[in-house]
């Protein structure tokens, strides 16, 4: 705040705030308590904005842990106690403390209205894709961790099935286009010579495969989800996008 008023006196500040010079005033003693309380209230929002912005890779897994941290902060009923304790027993102190606590409650209500639905979104299991988060998942309870792990396994299975179906369709389309069309009699003959023209099918338990990969994720190991065909690896970094 002091640096801001110093900026107002500088050449750049006089140009930037040329119409505000007469309207702005230095804070009174009572104003400083409000300023300090506001700084404490809003600081996590600034940190939450800065932290993901400095990452060099997708930060979607960090969304729910960050939101959980902010909500935990807004739920503190003693948030401004330290600032109040450092002031004299003036009349404005109780009034300011009450006003700031009402502000905190309002922000908490608005926060829940805006973000509570994300607790049931794909972001719950996406958090497992960042090893820093997946090893602990501190923003979830025991039941929530298991639910998120199950959701991750289901998502991996769905992705693997889609990949296999897509590759199967492509292979069938290629076979249909490259194989000459014969009469029924000729087809039976070709079947006798070369065997039935069927695409090989490999059966595996996708759920067990995905579950093993999920366990590796939770222990912070390097993980990749390998689907049943055996030649296409699903990169977990790509899955998060």
Average pLDDT, the chain: 71
Residues 227-236, mean pLDDT to the nearest whole number = 38
Q: Are strands 233-234 and 225-226 parallel, antiparallel or unpaired?
A: antiparallel
CA distance 84 to 73: 18
Q: Is the pLDDT of residue 28 over 80?
A: yes
Cβ atoms within 10 Å, residue 204: 13
Contact 74, 65 (CB under 8 A): no
Q: Residue 117: phi, psi to the nearest 5?
A: -65, -25
pTM here?
A: 0.54
Pull the structure tokens for residue 188.
């039976």
Residue 105 pLDDT grade (very low, low, confident, very high; cuts 50, 70, 90) = very high
CB 54 within 8 A of CB 116: no
pLDDT above 80 for 184: no
């Amino acid at each position: 705040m002091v640096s801001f008023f110093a900026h107002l006196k500088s050449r750049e500040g006089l140009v930037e705030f040329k119409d505000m010079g007469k309207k702005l005033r230095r804070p009174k003693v009572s104003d400083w308590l409000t300023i300090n309380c506001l700084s404490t209230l809003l600081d996590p929002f600034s940190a939450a904005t800065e932290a993901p912005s400095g990452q060099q890779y997708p930060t979607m897994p960090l969304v729910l842990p960050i939101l959980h941290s902010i909500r935990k902060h807004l739920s503190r009923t003693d948030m401004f106690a330290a600032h109040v304790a450092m002031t004299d027993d003036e009349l404005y102190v109780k009034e300011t403390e009450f006003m700031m606590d009402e502000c905190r409650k309002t922000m908490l209500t608005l926060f829940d209205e805006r973000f509570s639905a994300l607790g049931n979104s794909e972001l719950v299991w996406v958090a497992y894709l960042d090893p820093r988060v997946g090893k602990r998942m501190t923003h979830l309870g025991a039941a929530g961790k298991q639910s998120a792990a199950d959701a991750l396994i289901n998502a991996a299975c769905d992705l693997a099935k889609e990949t296999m179906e897509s590759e199967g369709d492509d292979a069938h389309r290629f076979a249909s286009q490259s194989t000459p069309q014969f009469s029924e009699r000729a087809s039976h003959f070709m079947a006798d010579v070369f065997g039935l023209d069927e695409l090989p099918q490999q059966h595996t338990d996708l759920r067990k495969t995905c579950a093993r990969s999920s366990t590796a994720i939770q222990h912070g190991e390097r993980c990749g989800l390998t689907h049943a065909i055996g030649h296409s690896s699903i990169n977990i970094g790509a899955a998060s996008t």
